[in-house]
Amino acid sequence: MLSDIHAIGRDPRTGGYRRFAWSDADMLLREWFTGEAAVRGMEVDEDGNGNQFASWGGAGSEGDRDALLIGSHLDSVPDGGAYDGPLGVVSSFAAVDQLRAEGFVPSRPVVIANFADEEGARFGIACAGSQLVTGALDADEALGLKDRDGQTLAEVMTGRGRDPRTVGRTDLLDRIGTFVELHVEQGRSLVHSGAAVGVATAIWPHGRWRFDFCGEANHAGATPMEDRHDPMQAYAATVLVARRLATEAGARATFGRLEVEPGGTNAIPSRIRAWLDARAADEGQLERLVDALVAEAQDAADADATAVTLTAESVSPAVAFDVPLRDRLATLLDAPVLPTGAGHDAGVLSAHVPTAMLFVRNPTGVSHSPEEFAEDADCRAGVIALAAVVRDLS
Ligand code: HGY
Ligand code: MN
Ligand code: MN
């Protein structure tokens, strides 16, 4: 199955994927998901947010809170790897295949999810599909989000034949009792522990903040250095301070996305738009890191009489996965437990239903890059583990 989707949304120059929400690649992956469900006789439905669900043994009825949800997401970050998301969806179909081949019949509905727009690569909000389902993300706020071409989510969904009025909270949480998401590990803990599969304990709190550094455009040659109000300076100081502050705090801070206005080679820019992704082991530490960074950015801007404003675009709280479920799976699988600094739909749902994550070893430990990798043998071990979990929980 992974090889079947290998070429979808893949940039041959980099080998990375560009599978953004509602893009052509995303639409092809949606068709792939529907096809995989159909060949297994699984009923497929798509909620108003674009989340797809393939059901084995019914979709679970309202109020039963009985279905076992598995699955993950199929979208990617720009130049993402082949496993972040798809490994969880593919492994879910493969686990169903294995259980059926063994003649297993679940005692409760088993539903495979493809959560829409988990990466937020196009509209900026992490786990948008699952946050809309739970009501954590307001539908109108989401529909007004714009992509880099200025298209709103409402316009994009309409263009794909969806009705924006159906975006928002659904009854999913009334139909499911447990969510288990399998995901490639984004780190090397399992390499160090020598295990193919691990069970998640926690997700670090994290967020995305947009810094707008505003100065005065001017001529690159005719403007003496002492007369400049160049926003690039405060931005540069902020990036360097972010590394120092995060390193000192044992936290993480990344500026991976930047827009320079107007972007002339021979002109001092008027505005720098920079996105901070910051994460820390607890929410207090994260807040202190961002506050300290904003103060440093303000000092740097003041030094050049430029301005800086901060906008929180996406904030994800700390997640501690359900302890009894975590321990049950770790015992069942004889697997190590480990935290993660990466966000997931499982983190969003964990606030509402008992949720767990299985991680599959990634020898490179690299993710959000074409270098992301998982050995076939470890992928198979992940399927066997997920099948054992589905059997145990249903
Ligand atoms: O950004 C994250 O942590 C996840 O990959 N969406
Ligand atoms: Mn990711
Ligand atoms: Mn992911």
Closest CA to 204 of 257, 238, 245, 246: 246
Ligand 1 environment, Cβ below 6 A: 118-119, 126, 342-343
Q: What pLDDT is attached to residue 63?
A: 78
pLDDT, tens only, 190-238: 999 999 999 999 999 999 999 999 999 999 999 999 999 999 999 999 9
| Global pTM value | 0.96
Q: What pLDDT is attached to residue 60?
A: 75
308 CA from centroid of ligand 3 (Å):
32
- Mapped onto helix, strand or coil, the DSSP state of residue 389 is helix
76 CA from centroid of ligand 3 (Å):
8
Q: What pLDDT is attached to residue 355?
A: 98
Among 19, 74, 77, 181, name the best residue to mutate to test ligand 1's pocket (greatest count of ligand atoms within 8 A of Cβ): 77
Residue 186 CA: which ligand 1 atom is closest?
Answer: 5
pLDDT beyond 80 at 59: no
Between the alpha carbon of residue 111 and those of residues 40, 181, 277, the distances in Å are: 13, 11, 32
74 CA from centroid of ligand 2 (Å):
10
pLDDT, tens only, 255-272: 999 999 999 999 999 999
pLDDT beyond 80 at 366: yes
379 CA from centroid of ligand 2 (Å):
17
81 CA from centroid of ligand 3 (Å):
10
Query: How far apart are alpha carbons 346 and 278 in whole angstroms?
Result: 20
Query: How far apart are alpha carbons 89 and 79 in whole angstroms?
Result: 19
Residue 206 CA: which ligand 1 atom is closest?
Answer: 3
Report residue 381's pLDDT band, with 50, 70 and 90 as the boundaries: very high
Helix (H) or strand (E) holding 309: strand 307-316
Q: What pLDDT is attached to residue 19?
A: 98
Q: What is the mean pLDDT of residues 133-140?
A: 98
Smallest-distance ligand from the CA of 73: 3
